[in-house]
Amino acid sequence: MPKRRRLETGVEWVEISTTAADWKKADPRLLATMLGQLQLIRTFEERVLELAGEGLVHGPAHSSIGQEGGAVGSIVALRSSDAVNGSHRGHHQFLAKALTHVAPDGLNPSALVTPRIQEVLQKTLAEILGLAQGYCRGRGGSMHLQWFEAGALGTNAIVGGGAPMATGNAWAQKRSGTDDLTINYFGDGAAQIGSVLESMNLAAAWKLPVAFFVENNLYAVATHIEEAVADTRLSVRGQGFGIPSWRVDGMDPLAVHLAMEEAAAHLRAGSGPVVIEAEVYRFFHQNGPYPGSAFGYRTKEEEEAWKKRDPLLTVASEMQKLGLIDEDGVEQVRQQAIAAMDAATAELLEADPAKEGRRRIRPDLWPDPAFVNIGVRGDGSELDALTALEPTADTRPRKDLKFVDAVAGVMERRMGQDERIIVLGEDVHRLKGGTNGATKGLSTAFPDRTLGTPISENAFAGLGGGLALDGRYRPVVEFMYPDFMWVAADQVFNQIGKARHMFGGENPVPLVLRTKVAMGSGYGSQHLMDPAGIFATSPGWRIVAPSCAEDYVGLMNAALALQDPVLVIEHVDLYGEKDTVIDGDMDYIIPPGKAAVRRGGSEVTVISYLSMVKHSLEAIEQTGVDAELIDLRWLDRASLDWDTIEKSVKKTNAVLIVEQGAVGTSYGGWLADEIQRRLFDWLDQPVQRVTGAESSPSISKVLERAAIARTEEVVAGLETVRRHAGGAR
C-alpha cells in the first residue's frame, strides 16, 4: 500500500461576508459614495437600454444591471493611478473608475451630480452611441471604453483578452517603483480561457500587483456555469498558481470592498497577484432589454430571487437602518441621477423630423467619415529628430562582423542609451543569447531588463502590449518562431495591432516584435513560416525585413523609436553570414519609405526582402537578365517606398515579386494587386511572382526544399518574365 500525504497549496483561499457590525463600522462617506455610484450607474444603464430599445445604440448593449456591486465595491477606494480593465460587459467598471477619479473625496447624496460627473455621464453615453465627443471619439462604443487619465485602460470585446494587458500594466507599475495596482475584470466564461490562466501564472511567477477579478454571474450567454466547469467556485483557479484568493457575495458592495481592502494590502506590499471572485447576477439577457427568462434559459423565480438581493437596494436599506438616509433621501438620489441622464441625453438627441414621436441622434455629433483611417498607426514624426542615413551611400570605413552579432549589438547599444527598453521572450536570457545568439550579452549587461518568460506567447505578448500602452517602457518581445503568432493571435492582432485606432487614434503603442524565418533548418510545418503576408494584411503593424547587417542597425533603431508596433523579421540564413557595419556608428535610422536599389537594370523590376535579396542577385547573374533589384526593407502598407517602385516599373514595364514562403500566406499577393492597380498603364505583362509551394515546409530535407523558394525558383521566374516580354514584342 503506497503512502499518501495530503498536499496543500500554501496560499489562502477565503470567503468573506459582512455582518451588521461591519455595516455599522463602515465610514458613512464610503456608504454614501457607494449609494451614489450604484444609482448613477444603474440609471445610466437603464437609459442605455431605453435607447437600445429605440434602435439608437448601434451594436450590442451589454447591460451591467445587477452586477454593479462588484465594480463599485472594488473600485471605490482606488487611486486614479491604480488601473482597471474589463470585458465587453464593462460600463459599470468604467463608470465606477471614472466617477472615483473625478470625485476622489466621495459623493454627496444631497448634491450628487457635479459638472465633472455630468461630463463623465455624457461622454460615456456619447461613446456608446458612437459619437465624436466620446472618450474614444466614437470608435470604441459600448465594448471598448478607455480613459487613461482615470486609470481605465480599456474594456475588451474578446473574452479574457484584457488579462495579459493588465498584467503588463502591473509590471510597469512595479518596475516604476510605485505601489499602484491593476484590476482585470472578467466573467465566468473567461475563467477557463488560456490568456487568463497564462496571465495568472506569469503574474504569480513575477509577483506582479494585478488582481484577477472574476464576476461570476453564473451564465456565459445562456450556458450555466455547472455545464462548463467541475468546480463552480471559480476562485479555486488561484490555488493552481499559488495565488491567494477571496470569494465574496458580489451583491453586497461592502463585502466586496472589505475583500478588496485585504487584497489591495497584499498587492501594494509587493506580494504578488490575487484572485477575487464575486458572485453576481445580470438582471437582463446577455445583450439588450429583456430578461434571460424571455429566452427560456432562466426561470422567473430565479430572477426574482436575485433581484431581492439587488446591490443598490442592499446599500440603501443598510444606510436607512443606520439612520444615514431616509426613504425620501434615497428617492432624491435616484431623481438626481435621472435628471443627469436626461440632461446628457438631451445634449445628444433631438426629435426625428421624419418620424413623428421618435428621436434621433443629432447629425452634427457623428464622427467625420474622413476620420475612418486616422490613427491606424502614427505619422512617424517622432523619427524627425533622429539621424537618417542611407548605408549604400555612406563611404565611412566598415567593420566586419556576423549578421547576428549586429542584431545583438544594436540592441545592446539601444538598451544602454534608453532605460525604457525591456526585452522579453523564451530563453532570451539563457544559452548565450537565446537559441541563435540574437540577444547575446543583454542579460549580462541588463539583467533586470532581459526577461526570460514562461512558454506562454499569449501572456507575454499581451504583457508587452500592456507595457507599451502604459507608456513608461518600450518592450521588445521575441517569438522564437513566427508560427507561434497563432498561439498569441488575439494579443498580436486584436489587441496590440488595433489598440491605437480602436481607442480613438491617439494612444501610442511602442512595441517591437522580433521573430525569425527558419526555412531550410528542418524544423517542419509549425516552425518555418514567413509572417510578412499575415501582418501586412492586418491593421496597425509596421514591418521591417532587413537583408544585411547595416540595414538591420538602421531599421531596428527606427523600430525602437516609432510609437507604433513594429514586426522585425530576421532570417536564420543571414545570422551566420559574414557581413559589415559602419564602424563606430550604431545610432542612425533607416526611416519608413526608404527601399534600397541593390542593382540597376532595365528589363524587369525584381522586388524582394530578407535572404531572397541574395538569391535574387544570384539568379540575375545566372540568367543575364538586366533586372533592377529593389530590397523593400519596409513592408507594411504605410511604409512602402512607392517612389522607388514606381520609378523602376515605369522604366522596366515588368515586375517579379520574390519571396520564399508559402503561396497561401504570401506577402506578394497583396503587393501584386496594389502594383497592378497603381501602375497598370506601365505594365507590359502581369505581375509575376516567385513563392514557395502551397504546403508548409516538411521535416524531410527533400520535401522542405520543394516547399520553399531559393535561387533556382527565381531563375525560373526571370525566365518567365523574359518569355512574356518576347511574346509582347
For 5-30, the pLDDT digits (tens) are 998 888 999 999 999 999 999 999 99
Secondary structure E strands in 69-217? 83-86, 152-155, 182-187, 210-216
CA distances from 178 to 75, 330, 557 (A): 18, 39, 30
Task: Say if CB 570 and CB 514 are below 8 A apart.
Answer: yes
Distance CA 118, CA 599 (A): 64
DSSP state of 540: T
Is-contact 645 595, C-beta < 8 A? yes
Closest CA to 142 of 202, 91, 105, 194: 91
Instruction: Identify residue 238 by its one-letter amino acid code.
Output: G
Cα(691)–Cα(708) distance, integer angstroms: 7
Closest C-alpha among 484, 512, 488 to residue 422: 512
Chain centroid offset of residue 290 CA? 32
Q: In terms of DSSP bridges, do strands 359-361 and 398-402 run parallel, antiparallel, or are they unpaired? A: unpaired
- β-bridge partners, 210: 182
Name which of 123, 121, 118 is nearest 504 in CA terms: 123
Q: Residue 239's CB: how many other CB atoms inside 10 A?
A: 17
Residues 527-554: what's their mean pLDDT? 96
Q: How confident is the model at residue 727 (pLDDT cuts 50, 70, 90)?
A: low
| pLDDT tens digits along 166-219 | 999 999 999 999 999 999 999 999 999 999 999 999 999 999 999 999 999 999
Per-residue pLDDT at 84 exceeds 80: yes
Query: How confident is the model at residue 489, as a pLDDT?
Result: 94
C-alpha cell at 136: 474614444
SS3 category, 175: helix
Q: Which among 638, 724, 647 is positioned nearest to 682, based on CA atoms?
A: 647
Residue 359 has pLDDT above 80, yes or no: yes
Interatomic CA distance for residues 700 and 520, integer angstroms: 10
Going by their DSSP bridges, the two strands 596-599 and 627-631 should be labelled as antiparallel
What SS3 string covers 423-471? EEECCCCCCCCCCCCCCCCHHHHCCCCEEECCCCHHHHHHHHHHHHHHC
Kindly report the average pLDDT of the chain as a whole number: 95
CATH architecture of 20-355: 3-Layer(aba) Sandwich (3.40)
| pLDDT-above-90 percentage for the chain | 93
Q: Write the DSSP assignment of 547-585 as a string of letters.
A: SSHHHHHHHHHHHHH-SS-EEEEEEHHHHTSEEEEETT-
Per-residue pLDDT at 712: 97
DSSP state of 677: H
Q: How confident is the model over 88-105, as a mean pLDDT?
A: 97
Select 381-582's CATH number: 3.40.50.970, 3.30.70.1400, 3.40.50.2300, 3.40.50.10310. Answer: 3.40.50.970
Question: Would you tell me how many other CB atoms lie within 10 Å of the CB of residue 351?
Answer: 11
Q: Is the pTM of this model over 0.85?
A: yes
Side chain identity, residue 245: S
Domains 20-355 and 381-582 share a fold: yes
Q: First vs last Cα of the chain: how many Å apart?
A: 90
The Cα–Cα gap between 555 and 546 comes to 7
729 pLDDT higher than 60 = no
The CA distances from residue 381 to 181, 451, 541, 561, 589, in Å, are 33, 30, 16, 10, 13
**What letter represents residue 564's amino acid?**
D
pLDDT tens string 207-234: 999 999 999 999 999 999 999 999 999 9
User: What DSSP letter does each residue of 243-258 carry, written as one string?
Assistant: --EEEEETT-HHHHHH
The answer to whether 566 touches 543, Cβ cutoff 8 Å, is: yes
Q: Please give the backbone phi and psi of residue 365, each rounded to the nearest 5 degrees, phi first.
A: -95, -10
Q: For residues 61 and 468, what is the distance between their CA atoms, to the nearest angstrom?
A: 30
pLDDT greater than 70 at residue 548: yes
Average pLDDT over residues 99-117: 97
Q: 596-726 belongs to which CATH class?
A: alpha beta
Of the pLDDT bands very low, low, confident and very high (cuts 50, 70, 90), residue 728 is low
Of 81-85, 292-296, 326-330, 568-572, which range is least confident?
A: 292-296
Provide the angle, in degrees to the nearest 10, between the axes of the packed helices 311-321 and 68-75.
Answer: 60
Write out 154-197 in H/E/C secondary structure: EECCCCCCHHHHHHHHHHHHHHCCCCCCEEEEEECCHHHCHHHH
Q: How far apart are CA 562 and CA 419, in angstroms?
A: 16
Q: Give me the mean pLDDT over the 657-682 stretch.
A: 96
- What residue has cell string 489587441? 495
Helix (H) or strand (E) holding 220: strand 219-220
d(CA 606, CA 110): 74
Q: What is the DSSP letter of 367?
A: P
The ranges assigned to domains in the chain are 20-355, 381-582, 596-726
What nine digits make up the cell of 204? 504569480
Q: What is the CA radius of gyration of the chain?
A: 29
pLDDT of 383 over the 90 cut? yes
Three-state DSSP class for 570?
strand
- What is the Cα–Cα distance from 223 to 232, expressed in whole angstroms? 13
Those residues with Cβ within 8 angstroms of residue 269's Cβ, 6 or more apart along the chain or in another chain: 179
Alpha-carbon distance values, 129 to 4, 158, 255, 362, 480 (Å): 60, 20, 34, 11, 42
For 218: left if phi > 0, alpha if psi spans -120 to 50, otherwise beta; the answer is: left
DSSP conformational letter for 388: B
Known catalytic residues are 527
Do residues 606 and 630 touch, judged by C-beta distance below 8 A?
yes
pLDDT at 290 over 50: yes
Does the pLDDT of residue 95 top 90, yes or no? yes
Please determine, for residue 161, whether its predicted confidence score (pLDDT) is greater than 50.
yes
Q: Taking 80 as the threshold, does the pLDDT of residue 726 lie above it?
A: no
Beta bridge partners of 556: none
